Structure 1
Amino acid sequence: MRSLLLAAVLTLTACAQSSVKDDSLYRELGEQAGITRIVEGMLLNVAGDPRIVRHFENIDIERLRDKLVEHFCVDAGGPCTYTGDSLEESHKGLGLTPSDFNALVENLQKAMTAEGVAITAQNRLLARLAPQRGQVLDR
Structure 2
Amino acid sequence: MQAHRHALLVLLLNGFILMPVHAQESSSDVYQALGERSGIETIVKDLLGRIANDERLAAQFKSIDVRRFHRNLSDQLCQLSGGPCRYGGDDMRSIHAGIGVTDTQFNALAEQLVRAMEEEGVPTWAQNRLLERLVPLHEDIVDVPAEAAPTQ
Q: Which TM-score tier does this pair reach, normalised by the shorter chain?
A: 0.7 to 0.9
1:134 aligns to what? 139
2:8 aligns to what? none
Tell me, yes or no, if structure 1 residue 69 matches structure 2 residue 74: yes
2:30 counterpart letter in structure 1: L
Superposed displacement of residue 65, structure 1: 0.6
Tell me, yes or no, if structure 1 residue 125 matches structure 2 residue 134: no
1:83 aligns to what? 88
2:111 aligns to what? 106
Tell me, yes or no, if structure 1 residue 60 matches structure 2 residue 60: no
Q: Normalized against structure 2, the TM-score is what?
A: 0.76
Tell me, yes or no, if structure 1 residue 29 matches structure 2 residue 24: no
1:130 counterpart letter in structure 2: V
Structure 1, unmatched stretches of 5+, are: 1-20
Superposed displacement of residue 76, structure 1: 0.3
State the distance in 2 between where 1:57 and 1:22 align: 35
Superposed displacement of residue 58, structure 1: 1.3
Task: Find the residue that maps to 1:59 and give its secondary structure.
Answer: coil
2:49 counterpart letter in structure 1: L
State the distance in 2 between where 1:51 and 1:22 align: 33
| 1:1-50 residue CA offsets vs partner (Å, 9 max, x unmatched) | xxxxxxxxxxxxxxxxxxxx721110110000000011111111011001
1:94 counterpart letter in structure 2: I
| Equivalent runs, 1:1-20 vs 2, <5 Å | none
State the distance in 1 between where 2:136 and 2:63 align: 27
Structure 2, unmatched stretches of 5+, are: 1-25, 145-152
Total equivalences in the alignment: 119
The percent identity for this pair of structures is 42
State the distance in 1 between where 2:124 and 2:29 align: 14
State the distance in 2 between where 1:104 and 1:81 align: 22
Tell me, yes or no, if structure 1 residue 115 matches structure 2 residue 117: no
State the distance in 2 between where 1:78 and 1:62 align: 21
1:38 aligns to what? 43
Superposed displacement of residue 59, structure 1: 1.4
